[in-house]
Amino acid sequence: MPIYDLIIIGAGPAGITASVYAARKKLDFLVISLDIGGQAAWSGDIENYTGYQFITGPELAQKFEEHMRRYDTALKEGEEVLEVKKSGEIILVKTNKADYQSRSVIIASGKKSKELGVVGEKEFKNRGLTYCATCDGPLFSAKVVAVIGGGNSALDAALQLTKIAKQVYIINNTVELGGDAIMRQKLKAATNVVILNNSKVLSVLGNKFVSSIKIKSSDQEKELAVQGVFVEIGLTPNVAFAKDVEKNQKNEIKVNLRNESNIPGIFAAGDVTDVLEKQIIIAAGEGSKAALSVFHYLSRKVF
Amino acid sequence: MAKSVKVYSTSTCPWCIRVKQFLKENNIEFQNLDVSGDQLAADEMMAKTGQMGVPVLDIDGEIIIGFDKEKIKQLLGL
């Protein structure tokens, strides 16, 4: 079995940028990822990635992918990492398809949508319940929908839906909506939005597709007839495979200025880490830092 | 003979864009059905798959939900 210099886990902005730097340093490396583009591919309009005054998420992800593929990078797409473990000086990476060995690893596996954890959520996923308003929103033309959450991603989803759906409920479990003031203003100006604060979802009901949700609103239980449920309650890091790596309270991997984790040889970059601020451009920058740190680590160390 | 390929999609969904890009790159002709504007197409898709997630591909009657590159390649012999 070959021993790679580096295995990069994830191909979002951080992982792809790390791969470009690793290729230019002529490292013998591999990229393993379930998808390409990560959360960037799911973003709507991007207006703050320097060099692009306006670009959509899928287009930027496509540019990233082209940049990565320019270097004949070995890419295992659609492969899921199950375990990362250090054994002696070597790091073992086990996926759903194969086992690999490497001298170093960059974890750039990003974040995924948090689930509600209520009855009916799994059953009705893609049957009216979704985690991506950008993707599935247009299917709910002239329907009644509920957005669950009260932060920026929930407000963004609700705003998109005000233009599509007949009516939009926002189910927010705090006293009032969070997020940016400018988005809250836009929502308040919309005529087809009902904001329910101090409310949480108890269950999702339906037959073949979603037909209603049961909520508890200011201590009263009630049922709302909706055909769509958009879950936007935040994100959680993809770290289940990295049990030995130290994390913070949000389950983000703790890294230092060099993107090193607590385990020598295991680095991390982007939204999966405790880096301050989660932005595409920051994730990309962190990916480059991590790859350069790996390069220094490998050149210092005799294997 | 070329297989009949239908793509049920919306204009905004990232994987719909990717799946169409992939088909174009491989010179596969397909019929695009925008389920956001076309209720009949949306009903047809839901009847075929029992779900509402896009993209959905119909390759000669075989249904693929999501951008499953490997399965698409297999069915199209790429």
Counted across chains A and B, CB pairs separated by less than 8 A come out at 65
Tokens of A93: 């990476």
| A255 and A221 fall within a common domain | no
Tell me the pLDDT tens digit for each residue of A229-284. 999 998 999 999 999 999 999 999 999 999 999 999 999 999 999 999 899 999 99
**Per-residue pLDDT tens over the stretch A214-223:** 999 988 999 9
Enter the CATH code of domain B33-78. 3.40.30.10
Q: What angle do CA A11, A17, A20 make, to 5 degrees?
A: 105
Residues A221 and A244 in one domain: no
pLDDT tens digit string along A83-123?
999 999 999 999 999 999 999 999 999 999 999 999 999 99
Q: Is A293 helix (H, G, I), strand (E, B) or coil?
A: helix
What is the structure's pLDDT at A132?
85
- Name the average pLDDT for chain A: 94
Q: Are residues A252 and A294 in the same domain?
A: yes
What is the rounded CA–CA span in Å between residue A205 and residue A113? Answer: 21
Residues A134 and A267 in one domain: no
Q: What is the CATH number of the domain that holds A206?
A: 3.50.50.60
What is the structure's pLDDT at A240? 97
For residue A123, is it within any domain? no
pLDDT tens digits for A17-61? 999 999 999 999 999 999 999 988 877 778 889 999 999 888 899
Q: What is the rounded distance in angstroms from the CA atom of residue A165 to the CA atom of residue A154? A: 15
B13 in contact with chain A, both atoms CB, cutoff 8 A: yes
Kind plus residue range of the DSSP H or E element containing A297: helix A280-300
- Please tell me the predicted confidence (pLDDT) of residue B17: 85
> Are A226 and A94 in a shared domain?
no
Domain boundary among A213, A231, A249: A231
Residues A167 and A74 in one domain: no
Task: Say whether both A227 and A257 belong to one domain.
Answer: no
Residues A100 and A188 in one domain: no
B27 pLDDT band, cuts 50/70/90, is very high
Structure ipTM over 0.85, yes or no: no
**Nearest CA-CA distance, residue A149 and chain B, Å:** 21
Do A59 and A137 share a domain, yes or no?
no
pLDDT at residue B1 above 70?
no
Query: Quick check: B52 contacting A, CB < 8 Å?
Result: yes
Taking alpha carbons only, the member of A6, A7, A3, A11 closest to residue A238 is: A11
Q: Which token pair is A65?
A: 């992918």
- Residue A96 near residue A226, CB atoms below 8 Å: no
B-chain CB neighbours of A139 within 8 Å are 10, 35-36, 42, 52, 54
Q: What is the DSSP letter of A251?
A: S
Average pLDDT value for residue range A5-14: 98
Domain boundaries, chain B: 33-78
All residues of chain B having their beta carbon less than 8 Å from the beta carbon of residue A61 are 14
Q: Chain B contact for A123, CB < 8 A?
A: no
Q: Give dist(CA A17, CA A84) in Å, integer.
A: 21
Which residues of chain B make contact with A57, given a CB cutoff of 8 A? Answer: 14
Q: How many independent structural domains does chain A possess?
A: 2
In a mutagenesis test of the A interface, which of B13, B22, B69, B71 is the best target, namely the one with the most A β-carbons within 10 Å?
A: B13
**Shortest Cα–Cα distance, A159 to chain B (Å):** 15
- Residue A8 banded pLDDT, cuts 50, 70, 90: very high
Whether A119 maps to a domain, the answer reads no
CB contact under 8 A, A135 and B53: yes
- Hey, what are A289's tokens? 């830092």
Based on the domain organization, do A163 and A203 belong to the same domain?
Answer: yes
B39-69 pLDDT tens trace = 899 999 999 999 988 999 999 999 999 888 8
CB A165 within 8 A of CB A157: no
Structural domain boundaries enclosing A15: 3-113+235-300
A134/B12 Cβ within 8 A? yes
Please give the Cα distance from A28 to A73 (Å, whole number): 9
- A121 CB-near residues (< 8 Å, 6+ apart): A115, A129, A204, A231
Query: Residues A187, A44: one domain?
Result: no
